[in-house]
């Protein structure tokens, strides 16, 4: 009987030891996931400081070294030694991420490689834990069977022994059965997930077993809490990331199907997160980008981490450039593609603006040289023609030809002047101005020109143009160049009038916003232009007018941009165009 009881106690002690080993393995997993978490949040607002990262790495090494205290025989020892070597390699990769200084692309690639290597170790530790859990469950069941057999043996001995022995045996059996029953009940409740349950009231060896059970339950509860916090942090980082993040199917007929996407990915493409999950990544690609999708998937499956610039399409059809970075991610023996997408529209616009500025420098140099070489000979030709016209007795037809030559020379001079104004505009002279007064003056100037005899002679029928004003009486005075701003507004008014066939309206509105900018909006009821030409209106030499130079609007754009403002154009409801000028109230160069 004593041997049976000792055997039961020994098996229970072995079960507790196995639980403690399982706790050590799960703590190793938690420490590994902490290092993975440090890698994931690196360079983000939630990034841990370097000291914390070093502590997590040291804790990971101590965790794997502690496992050698329990594993001494093969094959566990060989498996553990291999795991130890991989963790040391992983620590080295993490250390390089935090200590190496290289190009951002190289640092990001090293970070992703270290993260994926660590993810493989996480899966390996998970498999070890899962295998040991099955063994622990088998041994627990065996111990429970032994306890049941011991109980039957005690009962038999009690019934077969003398009455005195029966009384003594019953006393000890009742005490032993009660203690064993308490331990069995605690094991079952712990297995059911009641981690707050505690064993109390046991004495001697059973009291020690009860304390071990309580410690094991507390450790399991703490481990589950930490794992929950890690999962919540991963979810917050995934959902709150500023760049779009996709998880895609990598193999089979569903290759490219969106398995998961964060809110930034949905907002970037104009979908909800739920709508994204019904799409493939090719549904977001433009046809040109979709054509290379299979090649990109093949490269990722070959183990390559790819970086590329392609174009995506929003739900409303808008096309925009994105920078993608993608690599292979293996979860539970299933292959996925982890892709990061970044909208680079602003960067592309900045690059185009830089290229445009460089072209302007070249145009400016050419324009200055051209004007210098042409201006004087052209003036000589013009004077010569005028002298000939005044001194010769010309027939009316010949006189008309000479006058036409002079008109064309005047047109060339105007073109050269506009070209110089566009390529080398004068620097703005900032002063405090009232924008509404400049607009009022521009309206009076245009109305006067419409009523002038010269203007009415040029047109077969006088135009009936009505100006509608909505000028804010709360508009602040701004720092701007008054002559340049007046030139821009006059140009917009004259363009609007020319776009109106006979009768129409020109509207002008001013307002101020809370961001420190004012808005000037000029609209007309003219015939407008084709949609395909709308984006070309500010390009040099683009014009829809028979005798236009195509430099009026580009000059306006340059003058406004020199004053740190912007000008945009769009169609309006009447079929005409609406120009919107934005100017800062305060200039950086103005005291």
Which of these three, 236, 253, 275, is where a domain ends? 236
Task: Using the predicted structure, report yes or no on whether residue 460 has a pLDDT greater than 60.
Answer: no
pLDDT tens profile 477-526? 999 999 889 989 998 998 898 888 888 999 999 999 988 999 999 999 98
Tokens coding 251: 């193999």
333 and 276 share a domain? yes
| pLDDT value at residue 18 | 64
284 and 360 share a domain? no
Residue 157, H or E segment: helix 104-160
Domain ranges, residue 391: 346-424
523 and 547 share a domain? yes
Q: What is the mean pLDDT of residues 332-348?
A: 88
CATH number of residue 407's parent domain = 1.10.287
Task: Using the predicted structure, report yes or no on whether residue 589 has a pLDDT greater than 50.
Answer: no
> Where residue 591 falls among pLDDT bands split at 50, 70, 90?
very low
Count of structural domains within the chain: 4
Sequence-ordered list of residues with C-beta below 8 angstroms from that of 347, at least 6 positions apart, any chain: none
Poorest-pLDDT segment among 33-42, 267-276, 372-381, 446-455: 446-455
Tokens coding 365: 């140099």
> Where residue 135 falls among pLDDT bands split at 50, 70, 90?
low
Q: How long, in residues, is the chain? A: 591
CATH number of residue 488's parent domain = 3.30.565.10
Please state, as a whole number, how many other Cβ atoms lie within 10 Å of the Cβ of residue 129.
14
| pLDDT value at residue 476 | 94
273 and 161 share a domain? no
401 and 437 share a domain? no
| pLDDT mean across residues, the chain | 77
358 and 335 share a domain? no
> Which carries the bigger pLDDT value, residue 26 or residue 324?
324
Rounded-to-integer distance, Cα 419 and Cα 372, Å:
12
CATH number of residue 300's parent domain = 3.30.450.20
Task: Using the predicted structure, report yes or no on whether residue 436 has a pLDDT greater than 90.
Answer: yes
407 and 442 share a domain? no
Residue 467, H or E segment: strand 464-470
Q: What share of the chain is helix, strand, coil (3-state, %, to 5)?
A: 60, 15, 25
Cα pseudo-dihedral 499, 500, 506, 512, rounded to 10: -30
99 and 186 share a domain? yes
Q: What is the mean pLDDT of residues 158-184?
A: 59
Task: Using the predicted structure, report yes or no on whether residue 475 has a pLDDT greater than 90.
Answer: yes
Task: Using the predicted structure, report yes or no on whether residue 79 has a pLDDT greater than 80.
Answer: no
User: To the nearest whole percent, how much of the chain has pLDDT over 70?
Assistant: 69
> Where residue 590 falls among pLDDT bands split at 50, 70, 90?
very low
116 and 132 share a domain? yes
Q: What is the mean pLDDT of residues 353-357?
A: 70
| pLDDT value at residue 235 | 64
Q: What is the mean pLDDT of residues 437-453?
A: 82
Are 314 and 327 in contact by the 8 Å Cβ rule? The answer is: no
Angle (CA) 149 150 156, round 5°: 90
Which of these three, 399, 424, 449, is where a domain ends? 424
160 and 303 share a domain? no
408 and 497 share a domain? no
pLDDT tens profile 208-246? 777 777 777 777 777 777 766 655 665 666 666 678 889
412 and 441 share a domain? no
| pLDDT value at residue 574 | 82
Sequence-ordered list of residues with C-beta below 8 angstroms from that of 160, at least 6 positions apart, any chain: none
Task: Using the predicted structure, report yes or no on whether residue 176 has a pLDDT greater than 70.
Answer: no
> Which carries the bigger pLDDT value, residue 405 or residue 449?
405
Which of these three, 200, 220, 236, is where a domain ends? 236
> Where residue 352 falls among pLDDT bands split at 50, 70, 90?
confident
Nearest CA among 155, 128, 149, 16 for reference residue 63: 128
* DSSP letter for each residue of 160-215: HS-HHHHHHHHHHHHHHHHHHHHHHHHHHHHHTT-TT----S--HHHHHHHHHHHH
């Amino acid at each position: 009987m004593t041997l049976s009881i000792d055997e039961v106690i020994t098996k229970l002690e072995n079960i507790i030891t196995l639980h403690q080993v399982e706790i050590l393995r799960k703590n190793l997993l938690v420490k590994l996931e902490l290092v993975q978490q440090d890698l994931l949040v690196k360079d983000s607002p939630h990034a841990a400081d370097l000291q914390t990262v070093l502590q997590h790495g040291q804790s990971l090494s101590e965790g794997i070294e502690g496992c050698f205290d329990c594993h001494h025989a093969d094959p566990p020892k060989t498996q553990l030694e291999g795991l130890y070597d991989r963790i040391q390699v992983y620590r080295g990769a993490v250390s390089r991420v935090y200590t190496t200084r290289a190009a951002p692309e190289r640092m990001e690639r090293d970070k992703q490689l270290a993260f994926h290597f660590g993810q493989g170790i996480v899966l390996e530790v998970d498999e070890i834990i899962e295998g040991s859990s099955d063994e622990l469950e088998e041994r627990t069941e065996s111990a429970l069977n032994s306890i049941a057999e011991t109980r039957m043996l005690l009962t038999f001995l009690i019934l077969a022994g003398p009455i005195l022995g029966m009384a003594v045996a019953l006393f000890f059996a009742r005490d032993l059965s009660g203690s064993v029953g308490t331990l069995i009940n605690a094991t079952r409740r712990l297995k059911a997930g009641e981690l707050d349950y505690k064993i109390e009231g046991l004495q001697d060896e059973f009291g020690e077993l009860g304390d071990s059970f309580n410690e094991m339950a507390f450790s399991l509860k703490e481990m589950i809490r930490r794992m929950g916090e890690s999962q919540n942090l991963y979810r917050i980082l995934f959902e709150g990331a500023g760049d779009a993040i996709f998880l895609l199917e990598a193999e089979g007929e569903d290759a490219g199907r969106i398995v998961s996407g964060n809110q930034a990915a949905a907002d970037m493409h104009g979908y909800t997160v739920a709508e994204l999950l019904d799409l493939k990544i090719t549904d977001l690609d433009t046809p040109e980008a979709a054509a290379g999708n299979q090649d990109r998937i093949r490269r990722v499956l070959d183990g390559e981490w790819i970086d590329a610039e392609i174009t995506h399409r929003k739900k409303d059809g808008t096309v925009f450039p994105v920078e993608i970075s993608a690599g292979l991610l293996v979860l539970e023996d299933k292959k996925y593609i982890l892709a990061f997408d970044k909208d680079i529209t602003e960067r592309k616009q900045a690059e185009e603006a830089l290229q445009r500025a460089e072209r302007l420098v070249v145009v400016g140099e050419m324009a200055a040289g051209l004007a210098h070489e042409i201006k004087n000979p052209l003036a000589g030709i013009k004077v010569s023609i005028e002298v000939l016209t005044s001194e010769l007795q010309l027939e009316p037809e010949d006189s008309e030809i000479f006058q036409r030559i002079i008109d064309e020379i005047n047109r060339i001079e105007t073109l050269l002047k506009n070209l110089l104004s566009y390529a080398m505009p004068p620097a703005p002279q900032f002063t405090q101005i009232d924008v509404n007064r400049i607009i009022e003056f521009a309206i009076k100037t245009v109305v006067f020109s419409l009523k002038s005899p010269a203007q009415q002679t040029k047109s077969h029928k006088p135009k009936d143009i009505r100006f509608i004003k909505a000028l804010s009486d709360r508009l602040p005075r701004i720092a701007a160049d008054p002559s340049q701003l007046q030139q821009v507004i006059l140009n917009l008014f004259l363009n609007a009038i020319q776009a109106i066939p006979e009768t129409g309206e020109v509207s002008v509105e001013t307002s101020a916003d809370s961001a420190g900018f004012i808005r000037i909006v000029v609209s007309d009821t003219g015939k407008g232009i084709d949609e395909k030409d709308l984006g070309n209106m500010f390009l040099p030499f683009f014009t829809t007018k028979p005798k236009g130079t195509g430099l009026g609007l580009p000059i306006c754009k340059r003058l406004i941009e020199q004053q740190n403002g912007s000008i945009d154009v769009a169609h309006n409801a009447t079929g005409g165009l609406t120009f919107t000028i934005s100017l800062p109230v305060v200039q950086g160069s103005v005291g």
